[in-house]
Amino acid sequence: MKNFETSDILKQLPKQFFASLVQKVNQKIAAGHDVINLGQGNPDLPTPGHIVERLKSAADEASNYRYPPFRGKMELKEAVATFYKREYDVDLDPETEVAVLFGGKAGLVELPQCLLNPGDTMLVPDPGYPDYWSGAALAKVQMEMMPLKADNHFLPRYDEIPASIAEKAKMMILNYPNNPTGAIADLEFFEKTVAFANEQDICVVHDFAYGAIGFDGKKPISFLQVPGAKEIGVELYTMSKTYNMAGWRIAFAVGNRSVIEAINLLQDHLYVSLFGAIQDAATEALLSSQACAIQLNETYEKRRNTFISSLHEIGWNVDAPPGSFFAWLKVPDGYTSEAFAELLLEKAHVAVAPGIGFGEHGEGYVRVGLLTTEDRLREAAKRIAKLDIF
């Protein structure tokens, strides 16, 4: 069989760092070991029943057997606008300020192609979600990293971005609550962001994937709540985390009209929107009782409290994340993030994600997903304790 060479674009894609982690975990499981896998970011609980029931009934509707409107059903976009007004007091025009996405990841990878040209500069958080790099590679743009450090609550410092880079930058990606650090942003930070973006003529892309997950009574805020934010940026919201709809591949972008139009234009050439029944189920999720989302947030907070207190008991003095379903744990002295993750997998059969996989400034940490039961989280801490490191 002839072997066809791949395109230069595919050759330039970043190496999938976590593929090797998944392979190692699967090898351990295949060998008969009971691995507690805290290295993934895949929600472990089922989609709420009322959302599933709406999908079932919508699948029986003849109107959903056809191609849906290219840019999504108006009912869904109106539901998005209602959701944002109810949750964040943000006004959106469903027609011009909402774009339906094939999952948040797709939108994040598409946006650099929508707004940037080869050689343009994009500001990216470090550490950050690795698929930001994929979007940069596909658009052939230059990434400039914004360090996220503990001493600034894992928020970038705009005054430390060299003027030569800030002046060239055309797009900036932010993500709060943050993956991987679990940090949250406040209004003051977003106000600084709007001012900086206006000054430098930068489009802000806020990845709000974990927008429903905040702890200690603090609800994460939307970037669009800040005056002027909609004029200079967009926010991406996924149904995956709020409603445990990770496999459904549905999200949306909201905000600046020119950016929304650019997303819609690109997607006009890629898709004919999502299966209508999935859009109907998403509409149900956004408009019906939010008790399921509140309960899910409470579940993650209980897991966080259980896990962090269990680690404190064994002498691992780590900080509790204020948001997301991740914990960002500083590794013991003498270990790199990869070496420590390898040790936990080999000796304790606990899988975590090495911080270096999220960028240079992720070194010295491991990321843990709070995506298993409290009992399993306690067991993970017990196994780590037996290593006599702390």
CA terminus-to-terminus distance, the chain:
55
DSSP lists the bridge partners of residue 253 as 99, 236
Between 291-313 and 374-385, two packed helices, what is the crossing angle to 10 degrees? 20
In sequence order, what are the residues at sequence separation of 6 or more whose Cβ sits closer than 8 angstroms to the Cβ of residue 288?
A: 50
DSSP lists the bridge partners of residue 214 as 323
Q: Would you kindly state where each structural domain of the chain is located, as residue ranges?
A: 8-46+292-385, 63-287
Given phi > 0 = left and psi -120 to 50 = alpha, else beta, which region is 161?
Answer: beta
Give, for all 390 residues of the chain, the pLDDT tens digit. 989 999 998 998 988 777 778 888 899 999 999 999 999 888 999 999 999 999 999 999 999 999 999 999 999 999 999 999 999 999 999 999 999 999 999 999 999 999 999 999 999 999 999 999 999 999 999 999 999 999 999 999 999 999 999 999 999 999 999 999 999 999 999 999 999 999 999 999 999 999 999 999 999 999 999 999 999 999 999 999 999 999 999 999 999 999 999 999 999 999 988 999 999 999 999 999 999 999 999 999 999 999 999 999 999 999 999 999 999 999 999 999 999 999 999 999 999 999 999 999 999 999 999 999 999 999 999 999 999 998
CATH of domain 63-287: 3.40.640.10
Helices (H), the chain: 8-11, 17-30, 49-59, 74-88, 104-115, 131-139, 163-168, 187-200, 229-232, 239-242, 257-270, 276-287, 291-313, 337-343, 374-385
Class of domain 8-46+292-385: alpha beta
- Using CA atoms, how far apart are residues 84 and 77, in angstroms rounded to an integer? 11
Report the SS3 class of residue 220: coil
